[in-house]
Amino acid sequence: MTRMTIRADNLTWGVGRKTIVRDVSLRVEKNETLGLIGPNGSGKSSLLRLLAGLKRPRSGQIEIEGRNIASLSRRALARQLAFVQQSAASDTNLSVRDVVKLGRTPHRSALSGWSSADEAAVSGALSRVDMIERRTQPWQTLSGGERQRVHIARALAQSPTIMFLDEPTNHLDIHHQIEILRMVRDLDLTSVVALHDLNLASMFCDRIAVIAGGTLVACDLPSKVLTEALLHDVFRIKAEVSPADDTGRPHIRFRSE
């Protein structure tokens, strides 16, 4: 039996009279990497925030490993879930290492000192994003891509079982885009990752969920989802899709006319 880590049923959320996420149900399996794609403003960030318990749905419910998240405390949630926000701005005097240390907060009590497990989590996370040599550098002096990698390290230091990432490849050069997505795929945890780059989604996600106008319009293997018809209907583009030589996953070639 495959284990469902995330089970969302009939999620609806909105602001005022506007419905932003409409009746979305989805399942994410243990250790799966689920991509979330859709046009600007389609509701990807809103859905991620609902799934991570950062917003409450108007209706519908979310279970994480069989427990309704509405019944869990923030701290209990933070021990299981990490969220990498879209270009989160942190204006601090902290060093890189101090920012990543914040990821350990949910695991520490007021009485416990800094343990070797905390230290190992922080060093391991910094190494994974290739920032260990920058650990003493002040946060404000980092480039956009370096900040993004440190945010990811902070999430990793949290030792979550589920990670939500909102466009984690923003600001990254192509080498680091690929490195980060390869890492997310290979980590022993469940992840849901909003992406704009459809070819990267195809390369690195086990399945892809497509959201348009707040509604889930597809959720399946990349080869099932990334069709010329769907790209036309959802993204309003003309593209040719063919299996990549090396992996057989869909490769999208955009047309300029």
Ligand X SMILES: Nc1ncnc2c1ncn2[C@@H]1O[C@H](COP(=O)(O)OP(=O)(O)OP(=O)(O)O)[C@@H](O)[C@H]1O
Contact footprint for ligand X (CB under 6 A): 15, 20, 38, 40-46
* Residue whose CB is less far from ligand X, 43 or 160: 43
Closest distance between ligand X and the C-beta of residue 142, in Å?
22
Cβ nearer to ligand X, comparing 79 with 196: 196
Measured from the CB atom, is 22 or 107 closer to ligand X? 22
Q: Which is nearer to ligand X, 40 or 256 (CB)?
A: 40
Closer residue to ligand X, CB minimum distance, 5 or 46: 46
CB of 42 to ligand X, least distance (A): 4
CB of residue 102 vs ligand X: minimum separation in angstroms? 24
What is the Cα–Cα distance from 204 to 206, expressed in whole angstroms? 7
Please identify, using beta-carbon distances, which residue of 204 and 235 lies nearer to ligand X: 235
Closest distance to ligand X from the beta carbon of 31 (Å)? 25
The least CB distance from residue 105 to ligand X, in Å, is: 26
Q: Which is nearer to ligand X, 180 or 211 (CB)?
A: 211
HSE, side-chain direction, 13 A CA sphere, residue 114: 8
- DSSP result, the chain: -PPEEEEEEEEEEEETTEEEEEEEEEEEETT-EEEEE-STTSSHHHHHHHHTTSS--SEEEEEETTEEGGGS-HHHHHHHEEEE-TT-----S-BHHHHHHGGGGGG--SS----HHHHHHHHHHHHHTT-GGGTTSBGGGS-HHHHHHHHHHHHHHT--SEEEEESTTTT--HHHHHHHHHHHHHSSSEEEEE-S-HHHHHHH-SEEEEEETTEEEEEE-HHHH--HHHHHHHH---EEEEE-TTT--EEEEE---
CA torsion through residues 143, 94, 97, 107, sign:
negative
Instruction: State the minimum distance, in angstroms, from the CB of residue 17 to ligand X.
Output: 11
Residue 206 CB, nearest distance to ligand X (Å)?
21
